[in-house]
């Protein structure tokens, strides 16, 4: 299997494969190891041990051995501590993993980190966004490139990756956590399989196309929101100025203003932006909208202010 377009390109002397040892990331590692033999760049790998199940350290070391056998160098095993917070265990593990990958990439001077997400993963991401009632950005799924991260397998299925491993004699292991139905993504995986069985082949591909189309829309709306924030300048802002923005842009503007004021981006939900928007569209003299991070959004005398920290009489006067 060769790495599809959008994966590596001319990006620098060292790329790293993030490898869990599963069929997807092992197929990616094999493809990258093959291509580096005829390229001007070299490839290494990072195995992140989340220490969430017994024997995880031994599995990580075994995977590192497989990667070294493929010819990847350097190969590093990084053990992280996962501390669940309000976002849950899965999100905490993801944050710890990405932080570890970024640290290794910086230390080794890597130009990119390649992730083994497939078309199936993309479909599951879109389905999760649908059932959670998320907006277009969440439904847009995972981008093929963002910063150091590259996802070159988003056009390939999970089955194709495993077929490649079998054809090339590449070992992999199946994480037992992929059968844990307490994990939302595992339930989504089963739901996608049921949809394929009930509605016929093509559901995974269709969800992937939906993500691509929505990503284009979301990128355009995000660009408009960025421009609107620049034009609005520092607050407070006139109610008319905010209300004049199209709603699809305005909801994004609210999110940006809240994050700028100190609200944690991962905790700002539609519920919070709706409460802010109600100060424009359903105004009846209500009190401030309260947002995570101690941020408050107030309306007074035809103006809107976003404030951080405890309320005081002086701050309330603007």
Q: Which residues does the annotation place in the binding site for ATP?
A: 20-25
Question: What is the SS3 assignment for 289?
Answer: strand
Binding residues: 20-25
The answer to whether the peptide bond before residue 74 is cis (omega within 30 degrees of 0) is: yes
Query: How many CB atoms are located within 10 Å of the residue 132 CB?
Result: 13
Residue pair 77/64 in contact (Cβ under 8 Å)? The answer is yes
The b-or-e profile of 168-201 (16+ CB within 10 A means b, else e) is eebebeeeebeeeeeeebbbbbeebeebbeeeee
How far CA 252 is from CA of 78, 129, 248, 276, 295, in Å, comes to 36, 17, 7, 11, 17
Measured from the Cβ of residue 3, the count of other Cβ atoms closer than 10 Å reads 19
Phi, psi of 303 (to 5 degrees): -130, 155
Report which secondary-structure segment, H or E, holds 107. Answer: helix 89-108
- What span, in angstroms and rounded, lies between the C-alpha atoms of 243 and 237? 10
Tabulate helix, strand, coil % of the chain (nearest 5).
Answer: 55, 15, 35
Which tokens sit at 5?
A: 């377009």
The side-by-side arrangement of strands in the sheet containing 295-300 is: 237-238, 303-308, 295-300, 289-291
Q: Cβ distance 20 to 52 under 8 Å?
A: no
């Amino acid at each position: 299997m060769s790495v599809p377009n959008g994966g590596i390109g001319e990006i620098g002397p060292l790329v790293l494969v993030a490898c869990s040892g599963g069929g997807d990331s092992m197929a990616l590692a094999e493809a990258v190891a093959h291509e580096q033999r005829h390229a001007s760049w070299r490839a290494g790998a990072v195995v992140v041990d989340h220490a969430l199940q017994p024997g995880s350290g031994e599995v990580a070391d075994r995977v590192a051995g497989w990667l070294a056998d493929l010819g990847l160098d350097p190969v590093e095993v990084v053990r992280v501590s996962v501390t669940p917070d309000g976002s849950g265990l899965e999100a905490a593990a993801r944050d710890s993993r990405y932080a570890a990958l970024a640290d290794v990439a910086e230390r080794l001077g890597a130009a990119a980190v390649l992730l083994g997400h497939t078309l199936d993963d993309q479909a599951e991401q879109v389905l999760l966004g649908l059932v959670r009632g998320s907006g277009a950005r969440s439904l847009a799924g995972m981008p093929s490139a963002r910063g150091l991260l590259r996802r070159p397998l988003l056009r390939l299925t999970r089955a194709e990756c495993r077929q490649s491993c079998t054809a090339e004699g590449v070992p992999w292991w199946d994480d037992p956590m992929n059968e844990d139905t307490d994990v939302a993504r595992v339930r989504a995986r089963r739901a996608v399989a049921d949809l394929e069985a009930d509605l016929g082949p093509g559901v995974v591909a269709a969800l992937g196309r939906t993500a691509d189309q929505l990503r284009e829309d979301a990128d355009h709306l995000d660009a408009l929101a960025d421009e609107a924030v620049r034009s609005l300048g520092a607050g407070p802002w006139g109610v008319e100025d905010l209300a004049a923005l199209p709603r699809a842009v305005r909801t994004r503007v609210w999110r940006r203003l809240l994050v700028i004021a100190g609200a944690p981006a991962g905790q700002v939900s539609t519920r919070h932006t709706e409460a802010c928007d109600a100060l424009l569209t359903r105004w009846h003299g209500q009190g401030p909208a309260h947002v995570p991070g101690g941020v408050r959004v107030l309306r007074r005398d035809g103006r809107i202010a976003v404030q951080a920290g405890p309320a005081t009489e002086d701050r309330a006067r603007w």
